[in-house]
């Protein structure tokens, strides 16, 4: 697997702070975040607009805690003149090297399978990359096609 250089991109949307342990239970926040995104923002978009799920602000002491934004590019946000009553947050996808994992199929199952592939890859003994934990993101390109980008550096 070879890293791809990805450009910076500004994403606007709804944000939560959570941790992996919480998301593995019925009290997870990410599912509700996506529900709010689909109820409030998606109806204001055009069919070709793409979504992002961005993971950032990993706690340096506990990589288990992170922020997540469900959103769209700032450009699409302005183009569609999106109006919301909730607080809107913005994050810049960091320019850098990323490994890409594909998720093909019905959501959210396909994305969950791809995240399992990510974990397996980085747990392999001969893996030459480590996660950089800058910004990792899911790019929802079309129904049934998602790409997950993981920021990396050499071990």
Structural domains present in the chain: 4-154 (3.20.80.10)
How many residues are present in the chain? 155
Low-confidence ranges of the chain (pLDDT < 70): 60-63
Give Cβ neighbours of residue 29 (< 8 Å, ≥ 6 apart). Answer: 16, 18, 22, 23
Burial (Cβ within 10 Å: 0-12, 13-18, ≥19) of residue 118: middle
Q: Distance between the two ends of the chain, CA-based, in angstroms?
A: 14
Percent of the chain with pLDDT over 70: 97
Q: Are 65 and 58 in contact (CB under 8 A)?
A: yes
**Confidence (pLDDT) at 63:** 61
């Amino acid at each position: 697997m070879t890293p791809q250089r990805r450009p910076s991109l500004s994403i606007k949307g709804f944000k939560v702070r959570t941790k992996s342990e919480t998301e593995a239970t019925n009290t997870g926040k990410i599912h509700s975040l996506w529900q709010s995104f689909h109820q409030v923002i998606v109806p204001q978009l055009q069919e070709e607009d793409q979504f992002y799920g961005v993971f950032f602000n990993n706690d340096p002491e506990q990589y288990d805690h992170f922020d997540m934004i469900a959103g769209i590019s700032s450009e699409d946000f302005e183009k569609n003149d999106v109006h919301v009553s909730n607080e809107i947050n913005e994050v810049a996808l960091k320019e850098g090297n990323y490994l890409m994992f594909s998720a093909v199929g019905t959501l959210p199952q396909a994305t969950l399978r791809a995240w399992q592939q990510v974990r397996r890859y980085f747990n392999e003994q001969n893996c030459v990359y480590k996660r950089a934990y800058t910004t990792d993101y899911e790019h929802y390109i079309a129904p049934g096609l998602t790409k997950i980008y993981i920021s990396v550096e050499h071990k």
